[in-house]
Structure formats: C-alpha cells, structure tokens
Amino acid sequence: MKLPFALAKRFVAGEDFVSATPKVSELNALNIKVTLDLLGENVRDRKQADSNLTHYIDLLEGIHETGLESSISIKLTMLGLDIDNAYCRDNLFTLMDVARRQNQFVRIDMEGTDYTQSTIDLFRDAHAEYGRNHVGIVIQAYLRRSEQDIPDLAALGADIRLCKGAYSEPARIAIQQMPDIREAYKKFAAHLLEHTAFPRMATHDDELINWIKEHIVKQNIPKERLEFQMLYGLRLNTCTELVTEGYPVRVYVPYGTEWLPYFSRRLRERKENIWFVLSTMFKN
C-alpha cells in the first residue's frame, strides 16, 4: 500500500524537483543555502542505479539552470554500492565529472555501518580526483570508529558534515546514550574547527549549537568559518536567527517519491515530530 504524500510533506519538499523548487527559492530568499536530496536508498539492480545516476545528473543540471543556491546530497547505495564497488565508483565519478564541469558540490551522505568503510574509501578516491570544492562526506558522532575517522579525514583536508547519526546501531559500534553522543559531537566539532577550513555542523540540538557558538568565541574563530545545517521542516526560526547573527546556514531539502525510510527516521528520532506531521495533515 502506498501511503499518501500528505503524511510526509512536513519533512519532504515535494515528489519531484519541480515541486521542491519553490521551497528552495524561499529558503534562498532568507539567505539560507540548500542541499537537495533525491530520496531513496539501497537499490539492488543496475537498471535502477543507472536511472538514479540520470536523476542525480538531471538534478545538478536543474540546479545549474535555475540558479538555485543548492548543492546535492547523494547516497552511494542509490548508485549501486550493494551491487558492485567498481560499478558504484564509476557512477560516482560520472556524476562528479558533471559537478566539476558545472562547478557544483556533491555531498556523500553517510548510511548504516554496513557501508561506512566503503563510503569512506569511495569518498577518498573522489576527493583525490575532484578535491574538497566538489565533494564532501558525513561523519556520525555516535560511531566509535569516528574517533579515528575524524582526524584522518580532517588531515586529508576533507569537507565534513558532522551529525549525530540516524541509524540504529549496536552498542559495540555506536555510543547509545545521548549525553555521551553529545560529548563526542563536541569533541569532534572542536577538532574540525581547529583542523578543517569550513566544517558543517548538522544538528537541531540547542545544547550543541550553543556550545559551538561559545567555543568559537573562546577560540577566536570567526562565525563565517563554519556552517550550521538543519533538515527541511525543522527549526526554520532558529535557522533565520542564526543567519541574522551572521552564521552561514544550509537546509537539507529532501524530495522524491521514495520518502518512507527518511520519514520513518525523522519520526523515530523525536516523538514531537509525530505531532508536527499530524498538525500539518489537519491544516490542509
């Protein structure tokens, strides 16, 4: 059974690029940059992965033609990571060729831990070929391995988005308690601020946002040296306040018909999101 899109519209900008575009323009008008994300994950046949590659290329071209202030986020499992590593790499590089030609930026989202190492490996290949102005990665603060990945990738000069981590992972792999995840996030944020040019801090958590603001004052780091990132449909007022205070801000805007896994993660991570969804449904 296909669930109605009305359910997801609080968190998902539309079912296609054209319907998401006005939302991107509205955010850009508020001085907020965007990352567009074509929803979907885990494709298991080449036909679907080829079609996703075409969609990603169309997305880069659509952004280029419309002049929107937007990069894109991709998932390697949409480009065939479950099928074959070399095939996925070819797809990634085909996409990156377009991004480089049009001077655009592609962020590789981080998925569940079955994919962490292969995602980092393919990111490293792409980073070596296309550089930090065209490709970036995401590191999840809850993963125990991030203790090593953060300094390694920072030393590479990578463009890193730091988030807590959205997938259910066992305790041997990921920190489970929120206070401990926050402590890890702060430690990694400090490292990225010290060792990378322009870290992206993806969180809606006031404790972390306030900690970062205080930390950069203490360390004498200008506000323009980092970017706060939030998800579409969440904390827009906080985003505009941050812009007014002089921080670069970007909103991650997902769109597409395959919204159920993304939508489920948003409901799982915060029970208030369930009320947001219900109130949006009954408004229209």
Ligand X SMILES: Cc1cc2nc3c(=O)[nH]c(=O)nc-3n(C[C@H](O)[C@H](O)[C@H](O)COP(=O)(O)OP(=O)(O)OC[C@H]3O[C@@H](n4cnc5c(N)ncnc54)[C@H](O)[C@@H]3O)c2cc1C
Binding footprint of ligand X on the chain (CB under 6 A): 109-110, 138, 140, 163-167, 202-206, 229-231, 234-235, 252, 269-270
Other CB atoms within 10 Å distance of the CB of residue 270: 12
Q: Hey, which residues does 159 pair with through a beta bridge?
A: 136
Nearest-CA neighbor of 225 among 192, 265, 182? Answer: 192
Residue in 10, 89, 107, 161 annotated catalytic = 161
Residue in 10, 82, 107, 109 annotated catalytic = 109
Does 161 qualify as catalytic in the annotation?
Answer: yes
Query: Min. distance of Cβ 230 from ligand X in angstroms?
Result: 5
Give whichever of 216 and 231 is closer to ligand X, judged by the CB atom. 231
Give whichever of 99 and 160 is closer to ligand X, judged by the CB atom. 160
Give whichever of 82 and 109 is closer to ligand X, judged by the CB atom. 109
Sign of CA dihedral 123, 128, 134, 139: positive
Query: Min. distance of Cβ 1 from ligand X in angstroms?
Result: 27
Query: Min. distance of Cβ 244 from ligand X in angstroms?
Result: 18
Query: Min. distance of Cβ 284 from ligand X in angstroms?
Result: 20
Give whichever of 90 and 205 is closer to ligand X, judged by the CB atom. 205
Query: Min. distance of Cβ 258 from ligand X in angstroms?
Result: 16
Give whichever of 9 and 235 is closer to ligand X, judged by the CB atom. 235
Reading the block at residue 66, the tokens are 């419309």
Give whichever of 220 and 241 is closer to ligand X, judged by the CB atom. 241
Query: Min. distance of Cβ 51 from ligand X in angstroms?
Result: 22
DSSP characters over the chain: -PPPGGGTTTT---SSHHHHHHHHHHHHHTT-EEEEEE------SHHHHHHHHHHHHHHHHHHHHHT-SEEEEE-GGGTTTTT-HHHHHHHHHHHHHHHHHTT--EEE----TTSHHHHHHHHHHHHHHH-TTTEEEEEETTBTTHHHHHHHHHHTT-EEEEE---S---TTTB--SHHHHHHHHHHHHHHHHHHSSS-EEE---HHHHHHHHHHHHHHT--GGG-EEEEETTS-HHHHHHHHHHT--EEEEEEESS--HHHHHHHHHH-THHHHHHHHHHHH-
Does 84 qualify as catalytic in the annotation?
Answer: no
Residues classed as catalytic: 109, 161
